Copies of this chain bind each other. A is one copy, B any other.
Amino acid sequence: MTDEQKKQYWLGFDLGGTKMLAQVFDRQFKPIGKARKKTKASLDADAGLNRVADTIRDALEDAKITAPELLGIGIGCPGPVDMDRGVVLDPPNLGWKNAKVRSMLEGEFSTRVAVLNDVDAGVFGEYRFGAGTGARTVVGVFPGTGIGGGCVYDGVILRGTVHSCMEIGHVQVDPKGPLCGCGRRGCLEAVASRLAIAANAAKAAYRGEAPKLLEIAGTDIADIRSGALAASVAGGDRVVKELVTEAARMIGIAVAGVVHLLAPDVIIIGGGLAESMPEIMVDVVAAEAKKRVMPAFKETFKVVAAKLGDDAGSLGAAAWAEKQFEPEPSMPRE
């Protein structure tokens, strides 16, 4: 067997702010091994990248393959990311700065490496294997600590001038709204992220208006995760239900703006809130967006829940590596 024939596997890596996941896939993107570690946001770029390499080695071992058998690695990283140079620029939730992810991993594993934004990786994963298959234009919206966005158009990740685009979390929905982490006011993520909902829910719990939430999670917003919010709503905390619904309405307003500009077929809502409360985070977003678009667009799009959960990022990163390094197979020669 030649070296080229040995190469049969893709490695997809999802580097999150709190955890990292490496998965090995065969050519049909069936998972054959994986490894997880905590990210340790306090590490610098060198130590962080060594930890990434360790996780990759663990995944290779779990899959019982070696690095020379890899067709390539795709790695989704917290943005902003320079896809051309394979560099993570200055992620707000990670101690790294100008981390040369591609050249380090290429050196370490002697294979081709594609670096992309983590949200883009998740949207590309959903486009290839999940809720967005077959669409021309897929927009993904992922409410979490912030609100990430990404767009796949005609099979490629849409990119901005200097880094990735679709910063839907920073579309301004209320000029007089609360301060955002970016320094402006009333950005979508300042009013509708899980963190924004959690902060308002904590106030309600503190005031005694959300007894179920108080019982489950207390008033520390670090403990008020998606599951706690969902349990609070299910347990009858009407104020919390209204907070989540209002957040979904604000996301719907921003989605309506995206529809006017990009006319996507499919808008995918992902993340823990959408998974635990799709009847609010998907249905209310859809209803509000439909209400707010001009008549010509009302029947042109659907809003759906993400399908791949935590696998979207690593699957999408691996599939993006394939897209970069193995373009459409040429027609068989006669």
Contacts of A158 in B (CB 8 A): 153, 262
A258 vs B172: C-alpha distance when bound (angstroms):
11
Task: Count A-side interface residues using an 8 Å CB cutoff.
Answer: 44
- B295:A182 contact, CB within 8 angstroms: yes
- Interface residue from B183, B253, B260, B300 paired with A162 (Cβ < 8 Å): B300
Contacts of A137 in B (CB 8 A): 160-161
- Each complex incorporates copies of this chain amounting to 2
Of the listed stretches A59-67, A163-171, A270-278, chain B binds A163-171
A162 vs B207: C-alpha distance when bound (angstroms):
49
Chain B, residue nearest A262 (CB):
B165
Contacts of A260 in B (CB 8 A): 165, 167-168, 170-171
A151 vs B137: C-alpha distance when bound (angstroms):
14
Contacts of A161 in B (CB 8 A): 135-137, 263-265, 300-301
Hey, what's the 0/1 contact readout for A266-286 against B, CB within 8 Å counting as 1? 000000000000000000000
Chain A residues proximal to chain B, CB less than 8 Å: 80, 135-137, 149, 151, 153, 158-168, 170-172, 180, 182-184, 187, 253, 256-258, 260-265, 292-297, 300-301
